[in-house]
Amino acid sequence: MFGQNEIPALYRSIQFLVPCRFITDVTRHLKEMLVAGAAKYLFPLDADHAHLAVPNELWATKYSELPSEQLLPALLRDSQLVALYHTAEHLEIKDPKTGAVNEDVKAWKEKRNVLAFFDGRPIRILPPHPAGHGVGMPAGYNSYGGFNFLANPRGELVIFHDNKVITFDVSLEVKNETERPSFDQRLIRVAP
């Protein structure tokens, strides 16, 4: 908004510059998710995080040997970066008292796994896991880190959706992140 191509960010106490393109793409992803009905709210009970990845070949040739403090700053500049968003994680399809299936919630939860691109392509809603779980990064991608986001009245980023203004913030500091974060294969299911 102020003619800058980069903004300062902090990750693991290291300051670096994030390309504005990353922020505009994340904003576009979130808006597309809201429009598609894959997300309804930007808060922890619906949409609040994404996992990042690049194609395996690119990881092997460009990123696998980088020191950890250089990885995220480099990845955020790569147009082959993808984000896997998980939404509606806490929704129950069946009413706990009656056992009746809420069709609106079922349709929402079936859209809960969203693959998004940083090269201008629109989001892609992945097929749902039969048990309603989040799916893992599709085959062919190496996962590294992620980010959180949250609607906040004092947020510095903006989405215009459904005649409303949604302000939000993005955080690159992900809780419980290991040195080289990746999906724990015991906890996730691979997308068919």
pLDDT in tens, 85-143: 999 877 778 888 888 988 888 888 889 999 999 999 999 999 988 877 788 899 999 99
What's the pTM value of the predicted model, to 2 decimals?
A: 0.83
Beta bridge partners of 165: 160
Is residue 102 included in any domain, yes or no?
yes
Number of domains in the chain: 1
Between CA 49 and CA 7 the distance in angstroms is 20
The CA-atom distances, in angstroms, between 149 and each of 9, 123, 138 are 14, 17, 22
pLDDT category, 67, cuts 50, 70, 90? very high
State the chain's maximal CA–CA distance in angstroms: 56
Is residue 4 included in any domain, yes or no?
no
Look at the block and give the residue holding tokens 């999906």.
Answer: 183
Are 93 and 128 in contact by the 8 Å Cβ rule? The answer is no
DSSP classification of residue 105: H
Is residue 183 included in any domain, yes or no?
no
Range of the domain at 26: 19-171
Is residue 105 included in any domain, yes or no?
yes
